[in-house]
Structure 1
């Protein structure tokens, strides 16, 4: 494990001072006066002040994108595990039943709050470029980007981080051994689960790529066809891989016979992995970003996530307006202009902090936001082409997120991914999982968009051992009255999905309302507002277009938001799981009186 920076030592208390005798006599007079006042207090006051807000919820809750994963986490909590043990169970189960979105062949970001220490930590389990990677490895002979090679096949795969993250959680934060936390996923892999509508929809979209790899075809296309919804699916190889990790930890995955099998399979398929790539992989603990807005503290992801920096830019810009009181069109206009500028900066400045000195302090500064705000016309859109920046696809519901809060107040927000649905569509035989295609998240060439339409520059260029920039934005929201854990998949739309959810929670919406609310999005390029049906009233769309915005309202939806929220005063514990995939996700809490949404 690497740590990006050491923790801050506590400040020593000031030395005691001698109190002058005259001051002591004055203190006695004050005490007598206070006693008299207390005797005069009305009887109703004698009952004492209102009960203070609880320091911990006293029960636990999980919201995830799949009911099997939520159930696995609840099982581990019932066996005496904490939120971190439950996170291992949820993560491993999602990799099994939602292989289109995440798994052992991918990576993720884990945002943790350790209640006993009052400490927040960001665990970076993002994939790394192989050491043989080069800046122009996806350019053809004419210097043009060959997008197919950065998406499909072995060359598209970066070195996975999720197996290392699972051991890291167990070793440093959990209470149970890996064998217990991984047990539900191992059992389910052998007993089987039912192929669902989300699995089928995503597999149909990637069928051609999966059919081209024998390992993937054998696992996901029995008899050469997409399985019917309801088909019982088993994965013995996945169970054996989890048992290896449970028995030997991350070393069993990244070194020895299993690592050699992975490397041989990748290289046979045309990839550039080496045993050194796997042996040198480590998760990195980084200091989370902390923002303040409307009386809430927002704890969120630092680089190599672009999410936290973008949230800071947007919220700092919005802090100069009474936007919550504005009509829908004016509020959407200001949000759009803030999004536009945040995504422009994402393209210009952000990358792996171990390789790039990104100006995070500047980008998250209220003074910088004030300068950006000065360029926003209150009634006119700013064309992206007029903003200095990068010269210049619709997102699919890949990636996965889950949120956990346990009875002690530990918090976990995890966003994990293999990038595009079913990753690079390659399975090394005998391993049971797909590899990622995260190499596409690098800037293959300045100004050339990736699969999500995001452009980038040299800060996110390919380099050996470098981690690609990500939009994953696991987030905590903390206020005097409310604590929430949230995050979502959605490619380039993750940031704005989390933004709108956070604003909804600040406005007092409950967890399920926030998860279900229609969304809109702007990402600098392409220069248009994309809106789910119902996100903006018809009159607001007309007003935005009159301001010069291009608005594209679509019946398609995006994201898969998972929220846990705790009301510190009433003790109510809510879970909100995105209804865009009906009957797939699940929120659950450990007490009957808690609010449970499914």
Structure 2
């Protein structure tokens, strides 16, 4: 592994204010969300504005064509709620279209490979996306501002264009083989048949038009009416089984959270079909087997690793996984967290699944589409096997909110496939086991463990801790890098109920990740200038 690659020390400071904060994998999206707080919106408005802005500035991770979960803490009601907007398979899907092929690699979810990777690439890998329905439900039930106002920053960003920096060029370069398969995707992201260079803007006019339509007509326009007909038409022209009836039938679900307790706090997660059960299982093990001292030590990492391994073993049995963990080099997805002055909090995770999802950009709408058919086991008879109309019922996404004495104290979550639960669980444990600040927890070295036969450890934890870990586990020593993302990519917010002081913090090793406090969203003042798009 990469024990000694990057020769610098990286640190980010948490942002803080009395009025709230938003944290995201892209700083521009965080600022778009925080602007809604400045306009009088609450944490739900801010989180949804941030999520919509990511359609433009981080499109390879999430967007209108994706799905996910949202955990909401209502300060006045002292209640947590979950919005499940996971994708749904087309009613007409046929498992015969996904024959097993031992020559293909395991899928991202570690199921056996499928011929031509049909469940991971192209139109056959797309599920009915739930993002617009879920975000719209959250705003309608829990937001304060009008829907069109919440979408305004995303519309402005789309009209200006996707700003390409070196990190964006890296993301596109990693997916060039996939993007070359799709004419609309290649035109947008591969001008001149190569990855769009840093310093360029890539305007997505079809996406801008779609966002304007949604802003004007509301979230149901995605599922019913002319826009839905255009989406279904593009999908079927490309070979998808998704119909206008599949779109019209889609509804997001509002649920009670899956909750547990740890060190005097209540921990609220996104439910049984999220990564929440594994997070709570890990915390249960830690509570029973670790007596935290004044500081993190080798015993901390041993307990966390054993707790994670046990939680993942239970999960694998539940979903019928019989494959070893395999070599994982980081997944995709995006997480954002928000808090407002009243103490409302949101933890929101949504995804296209793989980087650039299916690799399909729908020509009529400019949307990148998910490849969430890969969430399902291509083998029949298992709990997560393919079936028409079935909602995704097993996910790593793990948005989490912790409360104490009826007040929200932090919201965290992460991206990165199987790395999500280990990261989110450790941050939750560090904050509650050791009373850390959000900034200190995000800068504490982490491990990654998921019952794969080894434990990955950041060498920043020191030789003594590594030596002790090696007495108990096969250890892969690996730095926390920009790429590959071996320890996930978290974003979080925190609030002190006694003072009302709020904090926001984003992953230190994600160069474009950032947090923001309430302020107007002025694109002209954001310091992002780009050259004319290059052909």
Which TM-score band (shorter chain)? Answer: 0.7 to 0.9
Partner of 1:226: 195
Structure 1: tracts of 5 or more residues without a match: 1-56, 352-388, 447-456, 592-598
CA contact (8 A) 1:419 1:438 kept: yes
The structure 2 residue matched to 1:580, chosen from 494, 509, 527, is: 509
- Residue 59 of structure 2 corresponds to 99
Equivalent in the alignment of 1:543? 468
Structure-1 separation of matches of 2:201 and 2:418? 33
Evaluate the alpha carbon distance shift between residue 546 and residue 140 of structure 1 in structure 2; reply closer, same or farther with a 3 A threshold: closer
Say whether residues 1:401 and 2:300 are aligned partners.
Answer: no
Query: Within the alignment, does 1:119 sit opposite 2:119 as a pair?
Result: no
- CA deviation map 1:87-142 (0-9, x unaligned): 22111101111011100000110111122322211000111111122445422478
TM-score (norm 2): 0.85
Question: How far did residue 415 of structure 1 move?
Answer: 0.4
Contact persistence 2:344–2:408 (CA under 8 A)? no
Instruction: Find the counterpart in structure 1 of residue 288 from structure 2.
Output: 320
CA RMSD of aligned residues (A): 2.3
Residues 185 and 360, structure 2, Cα contact 8 Å, conserved in 1: yes
1:423 is displaced (CA, Å) by: 0.5
Q: Paired residue for 1:504, among 409, 421, 430?
A: 430
Q: Does 1:339 align with 2:263?
A: no
Pairs within 5 Å for 1:190-339: 190-305=159-274, 307-325=275-293, 328-339=297-308
> How far apart are the structure 2 equivalents of 1:414 and 1:476?
10
Question: Counterpart of 1:99 in 2: which secondary structure?
Answer: coil
Q: Give the 5 Å matches for 1:40-119.
A: 59-119=19-79
1:428 to 362, 367, 374: 362
Q: Unaligned stretches of 5+ in structure 2?
A: 1-16, 104-111, 520-535
Q: Displacement, 1:193? A: 4.5
2:427 and 2:79 map into 1 onto residues whose CA distance is 24
* SS, match of residue 164 in structure 1: helix
How many equivalent pairs are there?
483
Equivalent residue for 1:564, pick from 488, 493, 496:
493
Q: 1:327 to 1:563 in 2, by over 3 A?
A: closer
Contact 1:106–1:160, Cα closer than 8 Å, also in 2: yes
Distance 1:100 1:575, change over 3 A: same
Q: Distance in 2 between matches of 1:64 and 1:300?
A: 19
User: Contact 1:395 / 1:492 at 8 angstroms: preserved in 2?
Assistant: no
- Tell me the SS of whatever aligns to 2:288: coil
TM-score by length of 1: 0.76
Q: Secondary structure at the match of 1:349?
A: helix
Q: 1:482 to 1:470 in 2, by over 3 A?
A: closer
- 1:331 to 1:67, Cα distance in 2 relative to 1, 3 A: closer
Equivalent position SS for 1:574 = strand
Q: Determine if contact 1:149/1:156 at 8 Å carries over to the other structure.
A: yes
Measured after TM superposition, the shift of residue 538 of structure 1 is: 2.4
**CA distance in 1: counterparts of 2:408 and 2:272, whole angstroms:** 27
Matching residue within 142, 167, 172 for 2:136: 167
Whole-angstrom CA distance in 2 between matches of 1:208 and 1:141: 20
Q: Which residue of 2 aligns with 1:513?
A: 440
How far apart are the structure 1 equivalents of 2:396 and 2:283? 17
Contact 2:347 2:399 in 1 (8 A): yes
Match of 2:412 in 1: 486
Compare relative contact order (CA 8 Å, sep 6+) and give the higher one, 1 or 2: 2
**1:351-430 equivalence runs, <5 A:** 390=322, 393-430=327-364
SS at match of 2:28: helix
Q: For residues 299 and 41 of structure 2, what CA distance do their matches in structure 1 show?
A: 47
Q: Counterparts of 2:211 and 2:51 in 1: how far apart (Å)?
A: 12
Distance 1:531 1:226 in 2: 33
Which residue pairs with 1:52 in the alignment?
A: none
Q: Given the alignment of the two structures, is residue 589 of structure 1 paired with residue 517 of structure 2, yes or no?
A: yes
Aligned residue in 2 for 1:13: none
User: Using the alignment, how far apart are the partners of 2:408 and 2:437 within structure 1?
Assistant: 11
Find the aligned partners of 2:168 and 2:137 in 1 and give their Cα distance: 29
Give, in angstroms, the shift of residue 462 of structure 1. 1.6
Aligned partner (choices 550, 553, 559) of residue 477 of structure 2: 553
Shift of 1:79: 1.9
- Please state if 1:444 is matched with 2:372: no
Aligned to 1:378: none
Q: Which residue of 1 aligns with 2:106?
A: none
